[in-house]
Amino acid sequence: MDKNEEFENSIKKILEHVGEDPSREGLLDTPSRVRKSLEFLCSGYKEDPKEILQKALFTSTNDEMVVVKDIEFYSQCEHHMLPIIGKAHVAYIPNGKVVGLSKIPRVIDVFARRLQIQEQLTEQICDALNEHLQPKGVAVMIDARHMCMEMRGVQKIRSTTVTSALRGLFKSNKKTKDEFLSIVSSSLTK
């Protein structure tokens, strides 16, 4: 049995466990669709943020805060494998180098397309930018909805969770941190 077949057989078993008949017409292709869908949603394990960031580093004398905000993402919680739907806001202060803007959402997706908890997702994005861009500071804020808290469990619909990670000047300098917070606060879910 090859890996895909093994994967799809596990999905068939899950269908049986939830009370379905995997041999009924509407479900015949479901194991293969679920496999491909999960492979996409978890494709971040095969990606390296260093490779993404190092492809697009440009020399710049600008040393003012760069903010990319309202970056939408989808992830899945590692406890229930249910969607986490949110927005990330990222800021950094260049230190001789800036990064291609599109690479920031790409790095977010590398970590979002893994099984996650929001706090770690926030840390991992922040640490990757800090390590490979070596800025004077970096800040990440994430505002997200957890379907495991809405569709099941405590069932608190539209509750949101806000997390942040701060490095360098964003941590040590209150003015820098406040500037970041004032720029992103208008984007937080009301």
Q: Which of 51, 79, 119, 131 is catalytic?
A: 79
User: Is 148 annotated among the ligand-binding residues?
Assistant: yes
The answer to the question of residue 125 lying near ligand GTP (CB under 6 A) is: no
Q: How far is the CB of 126 from Zn ion (least distance, A)?
A: 22
Residue 46 or 156: the one with the smaller Cβ distance to ligand GTP is: 156
Active site residue 42: no
Q: How far is the CB of 14 from Zn ion (least distance, A)?
A: 17
Q: Which of 6, 72, 78, 131 is catalytic?
A: 78
Residue 95 or 120: the one with the smaller Cβ distance to ligand GTP is: 120
Active site residue 89: no
Task: Supply 138's token pair.
Answer: 């970096």
Please tell me the distance from the alpha carbon of residue 134 to that of residue 149, in angstroms, as a whole number: 36
Cβ-Cβ contacts under 8 Å for 83 (sequence gap 6 or more):
74, 75, 76, 77, 147
User: Is 126 annotated among the ligand-binding residues?
Assistant: no
Residue 77 or 107: the one with the smaller Cβ distance to Zn ion is: 77
Task: Supply 156's token pair.
Answer: 């608190």
Q: Which residues, 29 to 88, sit near ligand GTP by CB under 6 A?
A: 77, 79
Active site residue 118: yes
User: Is 17 annotated among the ligand-binding residues?
Assistant: no
Alpha-carbon dihedral 171, 175, 180, 181, rounded to 10 degrees = 90
Q: How far is the CB of 173 from ligand GTP (least distance, A)?
A: 28
Q: Which of 76, 124, 132, 146 is catalytic?
A: 146
Cβ-Cβ contacts under 8 Å for 164 (sequence gap 6 or more):
122, 139, 140, 141, 142
Cβ-Cβ contacts under 8 Å for 92 (sequence gap 6 or more):
65, 66, 99, 129, 133, 135, 136, 137, 138, 139
Q: Which of 39, 42, 47, 80 is catalytic?
A: 80
Task: Supply 130's token pair.
Answer: 């800090």
Please tell me the distance from the alpha carbon of residue 144 to that of residue 189, in angstroms, as a whole number: 9
Chain contacts with ligand GTP (rule: CB under 6 A): 77, 79, 117-119, 146, 148-149, 153-154
